Chain A
Amino acid sequence: MGRPQKPSNASAMGTLDMLILARLAQGVMHGFGIADYLHQVSDTLHVDEGSLYPALHRLESQGLIESDWGVSENNRRARFYKLTPRGRKRIAVEVSNWRRLVEAVNQVVDPLVP
């Protein structure tokens, strides 16, 4: 009844999750750092800053990333995230899936729109 259901098919990963994993593929980072990075690289991808944290915790509960306390650049205690082996495999798969999707969609829309 009130029991939470399993997250739907893991292969259809949300964009936010993919972006987080992609960022962490470059190295260890805390939550604010990830949010800031996403802001900097793109204004189009508007990320609700707060929704980043449920996403981070969910990815961790799936064993895709792990976290530990560390010290931030301004000497504050902060939670740092990094990819686990499973997360590293996963982001590779996700990115290639994403590229295939984009290419497929482009092949459809390119001839239609001059």
Chain B
Amino acid sequence: MFRQLWIDLRVRLSALFGRRTLNARALEEMEFHLEMREKQLRERGIPPSEARSQARREFGNSLLLQEATLDSWKYSPLKNLLHDIGSDVRYAARWLVRAPVFTAAAIVTIALGVGVNAGLFTVLNGVLFRDLPAPDSRELVSIIQSVSGVEDHHAQDLFSLSEYVAYRDRTQTLSGVIAMAGARGGTTLGGETPQKVLGSLVSCNYFAVLQQPPVLGRGLEAQDCAPGADPVIVIGHHLWRTTFAGERGIVGRTVELSRQGFTIVGVAAEGTYSGRGPIRIGYFAPLSADGLVGGHRFENERTPWLDLIGRRQKNASLEQVRAELAVIAAQLDQKQPGRTTTLLIEQAKAVPRGRRAGATGAAAVLMTAFGFILLIACANVANLLLARGSARSQEIGIRCSLGASRARVIRQLLTESMLLSLAGGLLGSVVAVWSFQGLVPRIVPTLMPALVGDLSPDFSVLLFAVTLTVGTGLLFGLAPALHLSNPDLHGAIKQGAAGGSVSRAGGRLRGSLVGLQVALCMTLMIAAGLLSRGLYATYTADPGFAYRDVAYADLEELGSEGYEPAQAEALQRQLLENVAAIPGVVEVATVQREPLGDDIGGIRIRLHDQAENESHEAEMNVVSAGYFSLVEIPILRGRTFTQAEVADAQGETGSRPVIVSEATARNFWPGADPIGQALRQGENTLHVVGVAADVQVMTIGHVPPYYVYFPGQGGLLFFKSRTDLGATMSSVRAAVRALDPGLVVNVLPLESTLGYWRGLSRTVTGIGAGLGILALLLAAVGIYGVVSYSVRKRYREIGIRIALGAGTGNVLRTILRQTMLPVVIGAVIGAAAATAVSSILSSVLFGVSPADPIGLGGGALLALAVAIGAGVIAARPATQADPTTVLRSE
């Protein structure tokens, strides 16, 4: 079996490339033959001279025979195929060059379709799917665990210090294991202008295992993690280039982080993995520095807080690593009765698994929407090919009559579409990859400022673009090729190019393509309509709280700024007094979480007679007494908290007063008076003292069904300004600086929390509307093309109708009735599909229902209007058909 394959392969290769060798071989064989025969004849007693000529005579015409011998090799199937493809390509290229307008239109359409998709893939690939950026990244594995059976392991997929050490020290299949965690919040980098920087806490083998040595100085080393070591950091490349102006003498200098002195021992190389996904971070510090920058996680070696990444030994497979680490996990389980650990080990990616999951859903929606554009573009090109094809039906008819097989004609037609697709795909990919690289970094930072992705195209982008291009060529080429290769031979040849009736099957195919386009376009337009409504909502919706004259100072991170707890508390109290004393400030309050901010936290609550498993997930906030009046949330029943309750809140157990939202009251006690009722949160009893109006706190447009306010001191200092808010905010900043010049506190207007949602909505709506308009444009061009083609084909018939007295309106109606049917059918299908799937957009619609009539109807009507408009414009020339000209031309 394999031997025969090998022989065939050799034969084909020698047939292709071995002409010279074969020639020499044939000559030598004949020469040998003649010599042997001559010798044989001489042995029979024939004289030498006679023997030679007799041998030649018997052999025949050696020159002709040599030709014939070489010709034997021309029958190689591979060679035939290559020959055919070569002539197909040459023929197709000639044909395409002869029709430059058609070719350009097709190439541009394909370039657009393939381009937007290749561009999107480049971005997704760069941000989401890429391997962790490090040398030999295939060896790196991410290790995630899921622990069950024990109470205290609440951060499930993270590892504790003791677990990390166990894996690191016991593994044989991994050459190294690193642990990392984000430093708490933003740490303030001291200096002339203090600033907040993000940092990563990493194990001291970090740079060695990742094989990313710093560009200056050294990486972290074992002694840096030893107890009592001097605090050191490696600073990030970006921070070095910006804040430290790329100064080479930076190594050895001491900087302040959270008021603690750290010695800079190195500068990380550009593109060094951050330890926390594709974001830009300012510094790497040893894990043991957690306490110095405000954390309490390093102190307890059983606190789960670490992400682990390991590097496989060269000879260890992923399977071996999984097996070995599972054994270590089992050893750890034995120390804690009831505990079961499951490990998830896979190749490490630039984006950690948890964060990838959410983004993958969004990526799928985006890919689908972008895919629609490609499909619409394909339908356009297929229609172009069909229209051109019917002009060629004579040529194809003749080819078939002369004996070309159907497969042969299909191959010829597919070669043409492939050539178009390759040209378009190449153009589109190059332009798209290049322009997305420039464009995306301008869009993304508004949403995620520190995000960095490598947007340079890699092998998978190339593979994607090539697959897409070939697929596109088949997609738009196949249907026309199948259709055209089955011509009515008799009619095609007889009729010639001038008459050519529109065949029924061709009309159906064109109609379905138009229907498909309209359906896809309709779906995108409806999505765009809904998204626009969502965007409008983010600007106009009343979130239920007043934000215009309110700002807040973020004091939450005082704890991570190197203050003792008591000191931080005193500082906060002092600041509260000072801010309240600022002339423009009318009210102050402290809150744990700003409404619509990104800090969310849930508790589980239930009625006092319900079981634990009947409890409901509730959002919660901790507020001071003045909060409700400051942000103008009306207390509908009962009262707000008293000062005593707020001050008393430190002991968080036992019985506590709470204020619940209106929705909560309605859900727990429909029709009854909620005041005085009791709720249970774990072992605590919560007494309802008041009911506050519903507020959109999680996302715009969404009121949580359960929301509970606790009394207490939050880390956010809210203040309301009577005068200009900006000026008041400056005064607050000044008050902070007056207390401690090294302290940086974010002071933000409350409207900025809405700004995030508006920015998100703007981006999503921008993409949606852009795609919708692109789809509409392509579909309009497609419809225009098909209608005007059908008008041209029926010019004679129309001329006769007009000659017989048909009016303009009559003619238009006849044409539109036939050509617009697919448009209407497509529109109905598209609208139905859009309505069915629009709920996937609900998270970015901000309270607008996925069935919102204005959004749905607006998008749909616009799409329909443009589609019909394109048809009408294309059909108009029919009414100008001059009967005499038309009939004379026959």
Contact = CB atoms under 8 A, between A and B. Distances in A.
A61 B72 contact: yes
Interface stretch (B4-12, B134-142, B634-642): B4-12
B229 interface: no
A53 B72 CA distance: 10
Interface residues on A, range: 20 to 34
Given A51-B65, A63-B11, A57 B30 contact: no
B61 A50 contact: yes
Contacts of B73: 57, 61
B577 interface: no
Interface in A62-114: 62-63, 66, 72, 74, 76-79, 84-86
Contact of B69 (A7, A32, A53, A86): A53
A18 interface: no
B3 interface: yes
B7 A63 contact: yes
Interface of B is mostly: helix
B75 A32 contact: no
B58 interface: yes
Contacts of A14: none
Contact of B37 (A6, A32, A62, A76): A32
A74 B30 CA distance: 16
Residue from the set B15, B36, B76 with the largest chain A CB neighbour count within 10 Å: B36
A7 B68 CA distance: 14
A78 B11 CA distance: 19
Interface centre among A48, A50, A86 (most CB of B within 10 A): A50
Given A4-B74, A61-B76, A84-B3, A79 B29 contact: yes
B19 interface: no
A7 to B, nearest CB: 6
B28 A61 contact: no
Contact of B32 (A7, A32, A48): A32
Contacts of A58: 72, 75
B228 interface: no
B71 interface: yes
A49 B34 CA distance: 10
Given A54-B72, A84-B7, A6 B80 contact: yes
A54 B69 contact: yes
Contacts of A31: 29, 32-33
Contacts of A66: 7, 10
B75 A4 contact: yes
Contacts of A63: 4, 7-8, 11
A79 B27 CA distance: 11
A35 interface: yes
B65 A50 contact: yes
A89 to B, nearest CB: 9
B62 interface: yes
B671 interface: no
A4 B1 CA distance: 29
Interface in B786-840: none
B675 interface: no
B26 interface: yes
B539 interface: no
Contacts of A3: 80, 83-84
B4 A49 contact: no
Interface string A4-38: 10110000000000000000000000111001100
Nearest to B5: A63
Contacts of B84: 3
Nearest to A64: B7
A32 B33 contact: yes
B83 A49 contact: no
A30 B70 CA distance: 18
A49 B3 contact: no
A49 B60 CA distance: 7
B59 A50 contact: yes
B612 interface: no
B54 to A, nearest CB: 11
B4 A61 contact: no
Contact of A50 (B7, B60, B72, B80): B60
A54 B4 contact: no
A73 to B, nearest CB: 9
Contact of B33 (A35, A54, A62): A35
B353 interface: no
B454 interface: no
Given A4-B74, A32-B37, A54 B65 contact: yes
Contacts of B77: 6
B645 interface: no
B32 A57 contact: no
A58 B37 CA distance: 23
Interface in B14-58: 15, 22, 25-26, 28-30, 32-33, 35-37, 39-40, 58
Contacts of A50: 30, 59-62, 65
A67 to B, nearest CB: 8
Contacts of B59: 49-50
Nearest to B2: A85
A58 B72 CA distance: 5
Given A31-B29, A51-B65, A54-B65, A61 B75 contact: yes
Contact of A53 (B29, B74, B83): B29
Contact of B25 (A4, A36, A79): A79
A59 B4 CA distance: 14
A85 B4 contact: yes
Nearest to A67: B25
Contacts of B69: 53-54, 57
A54 B1 CA distance: 27
A7 B65 CA distance: 18
Given A58-B75, A61-B72, A63-B11, A49 B37 contact: yes
Contacts of B11: 60-63
Contact of A54 (B25, B58, B68): B68
Contacts of B76: 61
A4 B71 contact: yes
A49 B58 contact: yes
Contacts of B75: 4, 6-7, 58, 61-62
Contacts of A76: 32, 35
A112 to B, nearest CB: 38
Nearest to B8: A63
B32 A72 contact: yes
A29 to B, nearest CB: 12
A53 B65 contact: yes
B97 to A, nearest CB: 21
Nearest to A3: B83
A30 B83 contact: no
27 contacts: A3-B80, A4-B74, A30-B29, A32-B32, A32-B33, A36-B36, A36-B40, A50-B30, A50-B59, A50-B61, A51-B60, A51-B68, A53-B30, A53-B33, A53-B69, A57-B72, A61-B73, A61-B75, A63-B4, A66-B10, A76-B35, A77-B28, A79-B32, A84-B7, A85-B3, A86-B4, A86-B7
**3 A-B pairs closest in CB distance:** A50-B60, A58-B72, A57-B72
Interface of A: 3-4, 6-7, 30-32, 35-36, 48-51, 53-55, 57-58, 60-63, 66, 72, 74, 76-79, 84-86
